[in-house]
Amino acid sequence: MKKILVTGALGQIGSELVMKMRGIYGSENVIATDLRKLEGSPVVTTGPFEILDVTDHEAMLHLAKKYEIDTLVHLAALLSATAEAKPLLAWNINMGGLVNALEVAREVKCKFFTPSSIGAFGPSTPKDNTPQDTIQRPTTMYGVNKVAGELLCDYYYKKFGVDTRGVRFPGLISYEVLPGGGTTDYAVDIYYEALKSGKYTSFIASGTKMDMMYMPDAISAIINLLEADASKLIHRNAFNIAAMSFEPEEIAAEIKKHMPEFIMDYNVDPIRQGIADSWPNSMDSTCAKNEWGFVAEYDLAKMTTDMLQKLRAKGIGAK
């Protein structure tokens, strides 16, 4: 990979992916784009940055040609809770943006990555150790978009030979940028609130297990899959990858080991709870391990130690 264009680059994943990729491939070789510009963000100040609305195909093609890209990482999307609140907008951005990005990849003949999600599964999917290939009948607009997106990426590979790759991310936990409107966001919020006030009110109910992953593992997964030997990829798009699975009590108990006075209660949001109930408890990532060597370094304990340390270093919770 020599010239990489990233869409939705100011989001939770993009802000960390762009900086990591600039460190590996060179600052000038990673072109960050987003609908908005955050003055002062390292993504904007340390390398090329362009405003790009992914629903504008001509604008995306123009930038792809201008920078002579060989890789397109498509991240811009609305997440599950926002998509459920604005389903038509989600369809237009999530599907319209994806088909534009795939078309650009076809036109300039570049490698392509986009993430799917645990949201691509639904209530009829096996909940535990969810297989790579299984029933996918999601009941959310986000899930409909993700399944259609997985199929579209397969189609562009088979029909046009576009080198499409992707993973099904679980909920991602990170400290650089806040998450952008998902169901798993509680597992980020809880660390901020623990440090700020010593208590947290969870919008996800007691006993609700979901797959999660710490951002450094997610960033490594994107880069490693993009660098993987194409001849070894049987699935190519939408690899299940998972690092840990927990319910609200378990993350609270882990935080309590560092902050014994921490307390959590519940005020369940029926919309986000309904979404969470339709998702798997834990995915099987065997295919990702076998086909491109996926490994996760962080479990709940190691992530919690690092999250609290990094947030304290940012001054979160300091009086």
Just list the catalytic residues.
142
Region 142-181 residues binding ligand NAD, contact defined as CB under 6 A: 169, 171-172, 179-181
State the distance between the two ends of the chain, measured CA to CA, in whole angstroms: 45
Any contact of residue 14 with ligand AKB (CB under 6 A)? no
Closer residue to ligand NAD (CB): 57 or 106: 57
CB of 140 to ligand NAD, least distance (A): 12
DSSP secondary structure, 213-247, as one string: EEHHHHHHHHHHHHHS-GGG-SS-S-EE--SEEE-
Region 102-131 residues binding ligand NAD, contact defined as CB under 6 A: 115, 117
Closer residue to ligand NAD (CB): 142 or 292: 142
The amino acid at residue 27 is S
H helix runs in the chain, sequence order: 14-25, 42-45, 57-66, 80-85, 87-90, 96-108, 141-160, 186-197, 215-227, 248-258, 270-277, 286-292, 300-313
Token pair 């990829």: residue: 233
Q: Is 107 exposed, middle or buried (0-12, 13-18, 19+ CB in 10 A)?
A: middle
Which is nearest to 237 in space by CA: 139, 151, 121, 169?
Answer: 151
Q: Pick one of 7, 71, 114, 184: the residue that binds ligand AKB (CB under 6 A).
A: 184
Any contact of residue 69 with ligand AKB (CB under 6 A)? no
* Residue of this chain nearest to ligand AKB (CB atom): 182
Any contact of residue 245 with ligand AKB (CB under 6 A)? no
Of 176-184, 251-259, 288-296, 311-319: span binding ligand AKB (CB under 6 A):
176-184
Any contact of residue 60 with ligand NAD (CB under 6 A)? no
Q: Radius of gyration (Cα) for the chain, nearest Å?
A: 19
Of 28-36, 42-50, 95-103, 177-185: span binding ligand AKB (CB under 6 A):
177-185
Token pair 């209530």: residue: 123
DSSP secondary structure, 66-82, as one string: HTT-SEEEE-----HHH
Q: Pick one of 143, 171, 248, 280: the residue that binds ligand AKB (CB under 6 A).
A: 171
CB of 267 to ligand NAD, least distance (A): 22
Residues that bind ligand AKB (CB under 6 A): 79-80, 117-119, 170-171, 182-184
Q: Which residues bind ligand NAD (CB under 6 A)?
A: 7-8, 10-14, 34-36, 52-55, 75-77, 79, 93, 97, 115, 117, 169, 171-172, 179-182, 184
